[in-house]
Structure 1
Amino acid sequence: MSRSALYSPQKQSGMGLLASVVLAAGVVAAGFLMATALKDFRKYDQFIEVRGLAEEIVKSDKASWNLSFSAVAESPQAASQAWNTKLEKLETLVLGMGFEAADIRRQPMNVFENVNPNGGFVEPEKRWRAQGGIVLETAKVDEVEQATLKTDVFLNENIVLESSYVQFYFTDLNTIKPRMLKAATENAKEAAQTFATDSGVTVGALKTATQGLFSISAPLSEYGGDNTVMKKIRVVTKVQYLVE
């Protein structure tokens, strides 16, 4: 066969046509894959972001009771001695309320000279003042709450309280975290489904979820709550769901 026959115009035309068909098929296939990828990308890019709320009322499991008082005398030494005498009486009374000695922590005593703010005369027997107190830290929450209502027993022993401040705490947060996070996530899913129904779409798979901070406050307020036995635990989660 001659060389001219191998490379005849007819052969070259056929090969060109075949190459064009293959190229066209490749372009169509590539276009189809790109369209599918773009569709999947857009599908993944469409999502609903909602927040889920969970709240729970719990009882405090720890209490801190701060008691402070002072004693006056004509000298620093006498004021310090008078204060220590009152301190022993105070601790005895607290122990008599059903608390343990290990729960009592003494605060430092401060001794200072009394000064009349108006520049008047200070009685010699009241010239020096010793001041301090104790902090009771216990898990006996109910007993502390009742004891704070009976501070007149201290007055009967000539102990005038200058401060009687109680704080209640909830420290077992890890125990209720799992169920609260579950409740918050379920609340978010309900919100997403409501939003999706109103928008004419369907909630798909979970895309992302972010846990918010747990807050502890008074049952009827978003703030404070240190002096309330019952606490409100609150958490808000942010969740994103894909839509179909």
Structure 2
Amino acid sequence: MNSISSAIVAFGVALGGFFIGNGIIQFKKLDRVVEVKGLSERIVDSNEARWSLTVNAASDNMMDLNKKTIEIQAATLAFLEAQGFSKEEIQKDAGNITDKEAQEYGERKGARFVYRGGFVVTSKKIDKLVLASQKTDELLSKGVALSSSRISYFFTDLNSIKPKMLEESTKNAKAAAQSFAVNAGAKVGDIKNASQGLFSIGSPINDYDSETSLKKKVRVVSQVVFYLE
């Protein structure tokens, strides 16, 4: 009886293993998938610009420096408003004053107190902003020492092109899946799941000049899993 029972148990285990094994095989056949990536790129024009101006003043007397600071800030603000920028587009940068005698290293050269500050203009009127940046000699004629002037460009209207780019990246992913399926002797079925990659906005040429480039390259990579039939 023990031998018969053992044989029955062994047969049951073997039979169960057969069905389980075949079940796994069938499951794998039914769940055949291919995972691919689809790319979409687009060259667009920047729709917003930021102009950063840095001004400075120096004096051996703090009271005199404060007077100079107020004067150059007023002159710079008047210049920017005269170029057609609104108060909402102009932001005064936080300035700072350095006392060279308070520094414990080196030999002091020039005036003791140095002010450095400026303004930032953010506008969608890019042509007007670029034109204004070419007139900074007017500031110099008013006694404003301009130490730097820099324009950065941005594309902020991503939502207007996002749906089409996602559609294109998915379409390209399906084309890649179909190419694989032909070689595998299968057909591409429905999408099992998909994940949208992050959108990146940079320069069409070099990443290091992404902010100074007026043209922008928008890029997204979608990862899609298709069923194979």
Q: 1:48 to 1:166 in 2, by over 3 A?
A: same
**What is the aligned residue count?**
211
Tell me the equivalent position of 1:202. 187
8 Å contact kept, 1:80–1:111: no
Say whether 1:119 aligns with 2:107: yes
Shift of 1:83: 1.5
> Aligned partners of 1:52 and 1:161: how far apart in 2?
48
8 Å contact kept, 1:43–1:243: no
> Is the partner of 2:161 in helix, strand or coil?
helix
| Pairing partner for 2:199 from 214, 217, 221 | 214
Say whether 1:225 aligns with 2:210: yes
> Is the partner of 1:204 in helix, strand or coil?
strand
> Aligned partners of 1:121 and 1:40: how far apart in 2?
83
8 Å contact kept, 2:100–2:108: no
* 1:110-149 correspondence to structure 2 within 5 Å: 110-114=96-100, 119=107, 122=110, 126-149=111-134
Tell me the equivalent position of 1:9. none
- Per the normalisation by structure 2, the TM-score is 0.81
Q: 1:158 to 1:166 in 2, by over 3 A?
A: same
Name the aligned partner's letter for residue 180 of structure 1.
M
> Aligned partners of 2:205 and 2:109: how far apart in 1?
49
| Pairing partner for 1:86 from 58, 61, 72 | 72
> Aligned partners of 2:216 and 2:142: how far apart in 1?
35
**Which structure would you say has the larger Rg?**
1
Q: 1:120 to 1:107 in 2, by over 3 A?
A: closer
- Per the normalisation by structure 1, the TM-score is 0.76
8 Å contact kept, 1:76–1:111: no
Higher strand share: 2
Q: 1:187 to 1:81 in 2, by over 3 A?
A: same
Amino-acid identity (%)? 34
Shift of 1:52: 0.1
Task: Extract structure 1 runs of 4+ deviating beyond 6 A.
Answer: none
| Pairing partner for 1:71 from 39, 54, 57 | 57
8 Å contact kept, 1:71–1:80: no
> Aligned partners of 1:145 and 1:193: how far apart in 2?
48
Unaligned 5+ segments in structure 2 are 1-14
Shift of 1:170: 1.8
8 Å contact kept, 2:57–2:145: no
Unaligned 5+ segments in structure 1 are 1-26
Say whether 1:157 aligns with 2:142: yes
Shift of 1:224: 5.0
Tell me the equivalent position of 2:171. 186
Tell me which moved more, 106-115 or 203-212: 106-115
Cα RMSD (Å):
2.7
Name the aligned partner's letter for residue 162 of structure 2.
K
Tell me the equivalent position of 1:19. none
